[in-house]
Structure 1
């Protein structure tokens, strides 16, 4: 299995502005003074080894979308997608470039919930316009089809849902009842979020990953915490909503439906998870702030954990092999 991040932001897409780009350039150029970067190898080493990712790269700005490669991509026409935030536009373009318009594909799409930052990319998902493709939406919300259709009504979008060329289906899941697709086992879990959100545990070939975004964890709710520990149990990867600091999540932003990096570490440590991916980044955080959160999270895990827990911070384009 492989997880590929196409959108890591929460609430709404964001973009680097000219001041942020200039600040990155200034930092990189200042650090390059006296280094004699006179060939490609030296330049590459400077970028990759000396500059932090928050300077040499970017965590990106697309809203939530994760692709999970389950089956051999050379021999399958079936794909798994978690949420359809703005990142799914680029995902669709990549699939079209690889397989072409005349080679029908099936997309299994699991929706955490129906807020706009998680569905807004679907009208721009090119495979939906191509006859022969098949898109199957899975979710625990009864209003799933209504939500996908509503955002393409005439007042909001120029192309109606009924004009899409692909065959589109909707299948309702029940929390705790596993669904199987060609050897892939998917189980949904109810999460605390306005309008309800659902996390997904995906298991295939002895590997397991959990996608748990838009989920608030109340520190005093021991029973709920224990249930999530079991949901995460022994996962190779947990993609986790770490939108807020712990202080914010239990004070000014309590009941806003999101969690923190500290809670993610604690749940994963108790569950024996091997890798934690911080996800659903706060849109007002720039790359430097996200980088600081990652460093702080790694320090916290090192101090508090007995078993090693690998921690990464999601960025658009990231690939994680399980």
Structure 2
């Protein structure tokens, strides 16, 4: 399976400010220390080899949208955040080269940052496209139609030309979709959210678990999550807050922390963890610092096989 991250922020889209870009350029010039670059490729090698990710790049600002390349050639997409616009345009390029025009969406929940990209999803205007929206929420269609009412958006839902179908998922039940087995799990979040486990024909498993709060005083619930994550090849996990934030001033906000993510993945024997759903007020340096702290925490608490901890960003591709 190939996992592509099209949107990795939480709550609302963000963009780097002019001051933040200016700060990056100034720091890069200082790090270059007067050296001369023959061309842009030479300069990019310097950025890749000698600057940290936060100094030389950007984690991105689009909200949740993750693609899984799996199954029999259909698209698999988790959530419809603002990153969906970029995925839609890229998929049309692939469609022109012969890719199957079947889109399987899996919605974690219906909050706006997770569905706001759908009105800008270009393939929804293609009469040859089939869009299947899988959700455990019975009001998924209502939520998508409501955001395209005239008071909110100029293009009504009924003007879309793709064949759009809504598929109700049953939590705890295994579903087979275009060659991939999907399991859903209820999570702690306002109006409920659902995690997904995707398993392909070769037994490789990817977990998508965002907008889920984990309580230290509800270990029976956490034990069920450990089983849900068991031996996963990749766990995409909501790490919006630090542990201190998640158990103090932001308790009951419906999100989790990097430390809890590492603990659950260790217990489950997962192979790789992707930090996800980044806090929109965090600068690149803040996200990188959380990533570094997560790696150190994993090393300190490891008892068995190592867990690889990566930090998702818009444009990241991970093969499992």
Aligned residue for 1:55?
Answer: 55
Alignment of 1:156 onto 2:152: yes
| 1:42 shift after superposition | 4.4
Aligned length: 318
Residues in 2 aligned to 1:250 and 1:40: alpha-carbon distance in whole angstroms: 46
Give the 3-state SS of the residue equivalent to 1:44 in structure 2.
Answer: helix
Q: Alpha carbons of 1:132 and 1:104: their partners in 2 closer, same or farther (altered >3 Å)?
A: farther
The correspondence for 2:261, drawn from 241, 260, 264, is 264
Residues in 2 aligned to 1:46 and 1:320: alpha-carbon distance in whole angstroms: 24
Residues in 2 aligned to 1:40 and 1:117: alpha-carbon distance in whole angstroms: 36
| 1:97 shift after superposition | 1.7
Alignment of 1:315 onto 2:318: no
Aligned residue for 1:239?
Answer: 236
| 1:199 shift after superposition | 0.2
Q: Which moved further from structure 2: 137-146 or 63-72?
A: 63-72
Alignment of 1:218 onto 2:215: yes
Give the 3-state SS of the residue equivalent to 1:89 in structure 2.
Answer: helix
Kept after mapping to 1: 8 A contact 2:71/2:179: no
Kept after mapping to 2: 8 A contact 1:104/1:134: no
Kept after mapping to 2: 8 A contact 1:235/1:273: yes
Compute the TM-score of the two structures, normalised by the length of structure 2.
Answer: 0.97
Aligned residue for 1:118?
Answer: 114
The correspondence for 2:103, drawn from 100, 104, 107, is 107
Compute the TM-score of the two structures, normalised by the length of structure 1.
Answer: 0.96
Measured on the aligned residues, the alpha-carbon RMSD in Å equals: 1.4
The correspondence for 1:192, drawn from 188, 194, 205, is 188
Residues in 2 aligned to 1:143 and 1:293: alpha-carbon distance in whole angstroms: 35
Q: Alpha carbons of 1:104 and 1:133: their partners in 2 closer, same or farther (altered >3 Å)?
A: farther
| 1:39 shift after superposition | 5.0
| 1:49 shift after superposition | 1.4
